Amino acid sequence: DAGVTQSPTHLIKTRGQHVTLRCSPISGHKSVSWYQQVLGQGPQFIFQYYEKEERGRGNFPDRFSARQFPNYSSELNVNALLLGDSALYLCASSFHGDREAFFGQGTRLTVV
């Protein structure tokens, strides 16, 4: 049984570019959340989607957006990349909420 899968695993982008990160939840899970973890910090909540609707949003600028598809997979988009966006982006998959979530291996984004 596949766990939470994220792609790509690593990515290098230039300042000002756009990036799309992808997440496939565990089969049967309808909730996907995104977290940003910069070096030396704990993960910070970006978005939560449940049944294709946004259910929660963290304190991130409008350059960050996300969506969930009918098959419950999700994309996180970041526009106009800044150096400070360099981080590990984690996807969490659950039935209803993050207290029971499983995390993917993450996408390591480096902005140069």
Q: Which residues contact other proteins (rule: CB under 8 A)?
A: 4, 31, 33, 35, 40-45, 48, 55-58, 88, 90, 92, 96-99, 101-106, 108
Q: What is the C-alpha to C-alpha distance for residues 58 and 112, in angstroms, rounded to an integer? A: 25
User: Considering beta carbons, is residue 38 or 80 the nearer one to other proteins?
Assistant: 38
User: Considering beta carbons, is residue 14 or 39 the nearer one to other proteins?
Assistant: 39
Q: Torsion over CA of 83, 85, 86 and 92, rounded to 10 degrees?
A: 180
User: Cβ 18 to other proteins, closest distance in Å?
Assistant: 23
User: Cβ 72 to other proteins, closest distance in Å?
Assistant: 16
**Is the omega angle on the peptide bond into residue 25 within 30 degrees of 0, that is, cis?**
no
